[in-house]
Chains A and B, each alone.
Chain A
Amino acid sequence: MSKAETAETEDEGRITNVSGPVVEAKGLDARMNDVVRVGEEGLMGEVIEIEGEVTTVQVYEETSGIAPGEPVVTTGSPLSVELGPGVLDSIYDGVQRPLDILEEEMGDFLDRGVDAPGIDLEKVWEFTPEVEEGDEIEEGDIVGTVPETESIDHKVMVPPDEGGTVADVNEGEYTVEDPVVVLEDGGEITMLQEWPVRKARPVERKQTPRTPLVTGQRILDTLFPIAKGGTAAIPGPFGSGKTVTQHQLAKWSDADIVVYVGCGERGNEMTEVIDDFPELEDPKTGKPLMSRTSLIANTSNMPVAARESCIYTGITLAEYYRDMGYDVALMADSTSRWAEAMREISSRLEEMPGEEGYPAYLAAALAEFYERGGRVETLGGRDGSISVIGAVSPPGGDFSEPVTQNTLRIVKTFWALDADLAERRHFPAINWNDSYSLYKSQLDDFFADEVDDDWAETRQWAVGVLDEEDELQEVVQLVGKDALPEDQQLTLEVARYIREVFLQQDAFHDIDTYCDLNKQFEMLRLIRKFNDLAFDALDAGVPVEEIQDVDSAERLFDIPTEENWEPLVEEIDEGLDDDFNELA
């Protein structure tokens, strides 16, 4: 954030009260949401309430030792992020200060009162123009490109509300602040834009998402797919797999750009991403994953006000890359911590609390956040999307609480994590009975074209078997499996293959961690083939014990971890025919 430094100002207020992250001042002539500098050390804060002559500020840094009487100065601008080449392959705190720069300046522990620009202002980039003298350019038009990272070309765009006739174009190496295009009216376009985080960037129009965000996670892609430009929530108690799922999506989903917001969660989880991502390959480009990623970290022990802002910082970065025409995926882990940060600030303001102490505007804030996702036609006429995936951490794992409930009203994909499944190490512990995706039907065409015509039908078959198993399990609880009729025992066996071979997927296994769509389909097709052959055999009088012992069915378990899976699938396919021929 350098915005805060740019505008010098004359209006100085005085602190009258300090209570944790909330500071009150008098005599300050600031507007709502303006960034202010608090105290002798100039801590960064934001105006969140103005009442009479008292201005209330939330402070993004620790306030220990700050006393009444110290100055408060407004910068005259709202909380903004800096947008330009350099946003990717970086890690920020909740107000876009680069954590690596902070480490250089403060050491291993986060101190306060240090500012650092969100993107490197000195670095030179190679600008290749796409416009020439005399061109008419409008807001959102691309004026040129910059190779930002190994895998991503940064599109330099005309900022919203600007445009004109190009008078001059500067090709070559420039810093983000140098003009690369000069307009006839004297206006200049640089590689740097600023944007207030609480305001959505404008688009031409919203569009219906039609392609899936392919994640390589079987239960997600096959049973509960999310669209590119879709919204999803992952609620679950602690230890059920929210973070691992979010990490898997950040690693393997076929988005162009990933913005990962670690909001109020563990420090080591961010470190893990920082360590792993430069080493891992982007499944789409083969380049380091970090080249398409921007990380935002406000860990649970970092200042709570910056937790409230980190979500907005993240979505604004995502919008900027969407505007270039990219498919962006934004993960927020966890939106509950964001909601709690709102609650904490609101209660210090002594606002009238709503449900469970959350502010009355909780539902509106959540809706506004997810609404900034979606597939759009951008200014300048490109097709871009933001898929928004939010983890939710319900207290006590109880989904009836306000954050989960308000989120469910908005999102169209619901991946419900289940403590029971996690306890028996069935991962991902996504409950197939409770989860849903409202995108299924609009994505079916894609799967039929790209994978197999039978995709949707095979999925429905699997869902049917799992439903049946669910009912049968109630009986089994009472009488044991062996008391069931043979055909029902067989259904249980088939369901077991669906669960243990197909639905379970080990995020920590080199091969199993990612499963492409064809492999997903073939696995399910083979289980179904076993099902069909098995029921034929049962009808022909083969006892269920013998069917269960079929060798090639057992080999289904080998597919998930097999890299060269195609020959294996073929082998099992033939094996099933042979085995059942023998039985008959």
Chain B
Amino acid sequence: MKEYKTITEISGPLVFVEVDEPVGYDEIVEIKLPDGSTKRGQVLESGEEIVSLQVFEGTDELDRNSSVRFLGETMKMPVTEDLLGRVLSGRGEPIDGGAEIVPEDRRDIIGSAINPHAREYPDEFIQTGVSAIDGMNTLVRGQKLPIFSGSGLPHNELALQIARQADVRDDIGEGDEEGEDEEFAVIFGAMGITQEEANEFLEEFERTGALERSVVFQNLADDPAVERIVTPRMALTTAEYLAFDKGYHVLVILTDMTNYCEALREIGAAREEVPGRRGYPGYMYTDLAELYERAGRIKGLEGSVTQIPILTMPGDDDTHPIPDLTGYITEGQIYIDRRLESEGREPPVDVLPSLSRLMDDGIGEGYTREDHGDVANQLYAAYAEGNDLRDLVNIVGREALSDRDNLFLDFADAFEDELVDQGWTTNRSLEETLGISWELLSTLPKSELKRIDDDFVEEYYRGEDEEEKEAEATA
């Protein structure tokens, strides 16, 4: 392999090198610094004479005397089941002092698209034990469902609660015969988070024994930003291997996607590209899709890749390009809300803008329970109505409202108290969630439950309906 000492320009994370032999697009390079240390990078554009590179470890200390070696292949992730239990750097190198990893295979981290014809449509319920999710924004195996949060909000707690409680092995759905012996793994990809945050995850994984079925990729806040471009790809390549080669049900938590996108922006700016909205590259949608679309299931294969990416919305603004483009790609989103957080709700999930697009196919008879869909719809409608009235009540006071309006106001409060605010350590079964839901709905008159099939109302409604009381009284 030829070594070049022909660096012509260093600019931000980019390096330009003169070459006299052709270099493949996307190829990996190794850069040797005068002091003997090495950095890795990747070809961003390959011309006959000039090749531009992005350097993962950052360009600090690089100079014209550094030498560049093109490795003749694209970036690979060494994969093996032995990765379970290991902590790796954001570039996929072990940092836990453990044994060297002997790979079973080396996989291209770019990954190819799953042929839509080969996909299996996700419809297997995952019980997370969190009512706001299970009841109203149901997660299924193979889904990509991000958490939309803001800085300083407890998104990590929620992700941990889900990882801890998500019982993908214990199917309560009647649709699935196997259960117990299905294998479950967690892949944790950290991008630009603080050491403290990373420790939170690691300690929790250790405490619950989850670490031995986890692989941790860790790019911290003080690690080079460009490295963040490869971290999620390493994580997802490992996830696909475990899922589609080894039959694991893999849950991938990626945090914080906002830091990932900032790194993309930095590279775009360094390349002097025409920027898109708010300075982010025009191809950010496609780039994010290349990550998120790596969730799913494949016909005839055992495993699945479920993704929970976490992002902090700059300024809590969900029209910001990062949450906006994410929402356009993922199969729904869970919102963490600042008001609910300040009121001490645990988890402070705002169900109204939250959504699980795959819910409809994963719930109901044969999957969860026959009344699940109707109950969720009714809870949404009633909570939205009560929530709307809160503004009005601030202006005119409760007395000015009709009895009906007061009922809905009370409903909204009770909904947050009983259903949402379950606590970080409470693990609710779906039956419990639906039970609480019916208790709440039973505070409303039967005639208000228009979104629920009459038969279900008959079976589950527990309220003392006014009309019924009247009817009994006259009887």
- Which residues of A come within 8 Å of B, CB atoms? 15-20, 62-70, 91, 99-100, 102-103, 106-111, 237-239, 262, 264, 266-268, 270-272, 274-275, 297, 299-302, 304, 337, 340, 343-344, 347, 353, 356-357, 393, 395-398, 419, 423-425, 476-483, 500, 508, 554, 557
Q: Give the residue name and chain of the A residue nearest to B23 (CB).
A: A67
B108-116, B175-183, B196-204, B436-444: which lies at the A interface?
A: B108-116
B53-61, B206-214, B274-282, B426-434: which lies at the A interface?
A: B274-282
Inside 8 A of A557's CB, which chain B residues have their CB?
A: 450
Q: Which of B110, B290, B360 contacts A64 (CB 8 A)?
A: B110
Are A266 and B358 in contact, CB atoms less than 8 angstroms apart? Answer: no
Inside 8 A of B282's CB, which chain A residues have their CB?
A: 340, 343-344, 347, 357
A530 to chain B, nearest CB (A): 16
B4-12, B90-98, B218-226, B393-401: which lies at the A interface?
A: B393-401
Given A425-B384, A480-B400, the answer on whether A68 and B47 have CB atoms closer than 8 Å is: yes
Q: Give the residue name and chain of the A residue nearest to B122 (CB).
A: A268
Measured between alpha carbons, how far is A106 from B115 in the docked complex, in Å? Answer: 9
Are B110 and A110 in contact, CB atoms less than 8 angstroms apart? Answer: no
Inside 8 A of A20's CB, which chain B residues have their CB?
A: 25, 283
Interface of B is mostly: mixed
Q: Which of A16, A103, A480 contacts B117 (CB 8 A)?
A: A103
Are A103 and B118 in contact, CB atoms less than 8 angstroms apart? Answer: yes
- Interface contacts (Cβ under 8 Å), in number, total 213
Are A108 and B114 in contact, CB atoms less than 8 angstroms apart? Answer: yes
Inside 8 A of B381's CB, which chain A residues have their CB?
A: 424-425
Q: A299-B289, A557-B450 are in contact. List 16 more A-B contacts (CB 8 A).
A: A17-B46, A19-B46, A64-B26, A68-B47, A68-B48, A69-B48, A103-B117, A108-B118, A109-B112, A239-B355, A262-B116, A267-B114, A268-B358, A301-B293, A347-B274, A480-B392
Are A239 and B332 in contact, CB atoms less than 8 angstroms apart? Answer: yes
Q: Which of B108, B274, B352 contacts A424 (CB 8 A)?
A: B352
**Chain B residues touching A, range:** 35 or more
Inside 8 A of B385's CB, which chain A residues have their CB?
A: 424
Inside 8 A of A63's CB, which chain B residues have their CB?
A: 25-26
Is B103 interfacial (CB 8 A cutoff)? Answer: no
Interface string of B283-317 (1 = CB under 8 A from A): 10110011001101011010000000000000000
Given A67-B46, A268-B119, A478-B395, the answer on whether A304 and B293 have CB atoms closer than 8 Å is: no
B132 to chain A, nearest CB (A): 15
Are B352 and A396 in contact, CB atoms less than 8 angstroms apart? Answer: no
B244 to chain A, nearest CB (A): 7
24 contacts between A and B (CB under 8 A): A16-B47, A18-B47, A20-B283, A66-B24, A68-B22, A70-B22, A102-B115, A109-B112, A238-B324, A239-B332, A271-B120, A272-B121, A274-B116, A300-B289, A347-B273, A347-B282, A353-B274, A356-B277, A357-B274, A397-B319, A424-B380, A424-B381, A424-B385, A482-B400
Inside 8 A of B377's CB, which chain A residues have their CB?
A: 425
Measured between alpha carbons, how far is A17 from B360 in the docked complex, in Å? Answer: 47
Inside 8 A of A16's CB, which chain B residues have their CB?
A: 47-48
B116 to chain A, nearest CB (A): 4
Given A479-B396, A480-B400, A483-B400, the answer on whether A62 and B47 have CB atoms closer than 8 Å is: no
Inside 8 A of A106's CB, which chain B residues have their CB?
A: 115
A511 to chain B, nearest CB (A): 12
Are B286 and A304 in contact, CB atoms less than 8 angstroms apart? Answer: yes
Inside 8 A of A271's CB, which chain B residues have their CB?
A: 116-117, 119-121
Is B402 interfacial (CB 8 A cutoff)? Answer: yes
A350 to chain B, nearest CB (A): 8
Is B27 interfacial (CB 8 A cutoff)? Answer: yes
Interface centre among B23, B113, B396 (most CB of A within 10 A): B113
B397 to chain A, nearest CB (A): 9
Interface string of B125-159 (1 = CB under 8 A from A): 00000000000000000100000000000000000
Measured between alpha carbons, how far is A483 from B114 in the docked complex, in Å? Answer: 58
Q: Which of A65, A423, A476 contacts B353 (CB 8 A)?
A: A423
Q: Give the residue name and chain of the B residue nearest to A301 (CB).
A: B293
Are A554 and B46 in contact, CB atoms less than 8 angstroms apart? Answer: no
